[in-house]
Amino acid sequence: MVKSIGGDITVKIVNWSLDADILNYLFETIEPGYFSRPDPQPELSMERLAILRLFLYTQTVVATPTVRGQIEAFSQTKKGKQVENLLNVLLPEVGWNLDPTLVRGRADELNAIHRSANPKRNEGCYKDCEILAEAESCDLRGVLTNDRSFLNRLSSKTTLLMKRPSELWVAINLPKGVAPVQSPRYDNPLIAYQSQWVW
């Protein structure tokens, strides 16, 4: 699909899955007060800003069933419920009609490579593999993650691209000053901090 962004500027927009951590980064930047204080994890601030910009300027991100399931499991907490509401309202879900046997088979293949030496991490590693298998089955362009082991172990084992949000934002190469595809409402706290996220 080709979508026009900002008048005469045309950029090829294709869908990218995101893992649960990247979805959480997006939620954190939309939360009231995020830009009014220093990021509690400064090493992640670039990825958080990049996923917010991707969301506002390109609308390229989608959620696969595994990501939705992870967020629903997390929704027992207040913050988790807010993340779930964000997902339901703002992010399209893809893959709801996938063949679970095919996805599981591919996830098992990937997990043979991605399995952790630490048994406590194996469930998370398998979820990574399911997300990638679902993205492949949906013919998405790639998966956004900030998980180093996920990137290192599996990026060469798939035809999809695997990138950090900051890498995709740079690759899209939008001209400075282009208008976002969607903007926060006038009463959204993000408006007060436009200077920190506007491109």
pLDDT single digits (tens) 44-86: 999 999 999 998 898 788 889 998 887 777 666 666 676 667 6
Give the domain CATH number at 33. Answer: 3.40.50.1010
Residue 102 near residue 130 (C-beta atoms within 8 A): no
State the pTM of this model. 0.83
Among residues 127, 14, 17, the alpha carbon closest in space to that of 64 is found at 17
Q: What is the pLDDT of residue 144?
A: 96
Determine the Cα–Cα distance for residues 148 and 160; give it in Å rounded to an integer: 16
Q: Report which of residues 17 and 10 the model is more confident about.
A: 17
Q: Encoding tokens for residue 84?
A: 């779930």
Structural domains in the chain (count): 1
Determine the Cα–Cα distance for residues 75 and 70; give it in Å rounded to an integer: 9
Determine the Cα–Cα distance for residues 156 and 79; give it in Å rounded to an integer: 35
SS3 at position 194: helix
Q: What is the pLDDT of residue 106?
A: 97
Structural domain span for residue 81: 2-197
